[in-house]
Amino acid sequence: MPADMPDARPADDAAPGPARTDRTVTITPLLVADLLVEGERMPVHAHLVEHPEGRVLVDTGLTQSHPLAADLDPRPYPLSGHDLDLTTIDAVVNTHLHFDHCGGNILFPGTPIHVQRTEVEDALTEDGYTVREWVQAPGLTYVPVDGELELLPGLRLVPTPGHTRGSQVVVVDDGEQRTVIGGDVAVWFGELEEAATEGLRTVHALDPDLVWLAHEHEPWRARRG
């Protein structure tokens, strides 16, 4: 990973999108927690992106419960249980800063954490938005993002307001297909297909082959042909 990772290049607004590359990129879902929602357990996933130029973790789950989340009875599954050496993570991306997506940030002191600037502002100023002390854990290094950003070749961050004002997704073009790692841009596939928010319409405009969501075990797959 280049030493200047926090200064990743803004995407060219005039370009239709990054050119596809011949780089091999692997995306692995990691079950990091589950929540009690309407009487059923809902999974929470982070996603590990292994890129030739670095390892990026999209969202971090949570490491413990908190009174603000007690009604959801969260059950964390430690990242360390995934045979994952946390010291090998070069960058973290938070799709947004709700507690079940940023509670594991505390495990990455000094690692650049890329999040939309608007999301940081809302998390730190709006009461009940998240578990604020998890966002503000000592030693964390946030890299505020303003709009679209190319983080690595073929890997970019795209704002998708809807679930929160500052939500973003990760778009991966690996030369074979386009994949979106969506966090909570939609909670379930039906919501994704309805495209009722600006963020979901942005995802559809990207014309992805696959979309990974935080609360689904498998990816959504485009119907081609």
Residue 67 has a pLDDT of 85
Residue 23 has a pLDDT of 63
Residue 3 CB burial class (10 angstroms; 0-12, 13-18, ≥19)? exposed
Q: pLDDT at residue 3 above 50?
A: no
H-state helical runs in the chain: 99-102, 117-125, 132-135, 189-194, 198-205
Residue 21 CB burial class (10 angstroms; 0-12, 13-18, ≥19)? middle
Determine the Cα–Cα distance for residues 174 and 172; give it in Å rounded to an integer.
Answer: 6
Determine the Cα–Cα distance for residues 70 and 60; give it in Å rounded to an integer.
Answer: 19
Residue 24 has a pLDDT of 86
Determine the Cα–Cα distance for residues 58 and 71; give it in Å rounded to an integer.
Answer: 25
Q: What global pTM score does this model have?
A: 0.88
pLDDT tens-digit map of 94-150: 999 999 999 999 999 999 999 999 999 999 999 999 999 999 999 999 999 999 999
Bridge partners of 10, per DSSP, are 149
Residue 78 has a pLDDT of 86
Query: By percentage, how much of the chain surpasses pLDDT 70?
Result: 89
Q: What is the mean pLDDT of the chain?
A: 89
Higher pLDDT, 68 or 199: 199
Stretch 61-89: mean pLDDT: 89
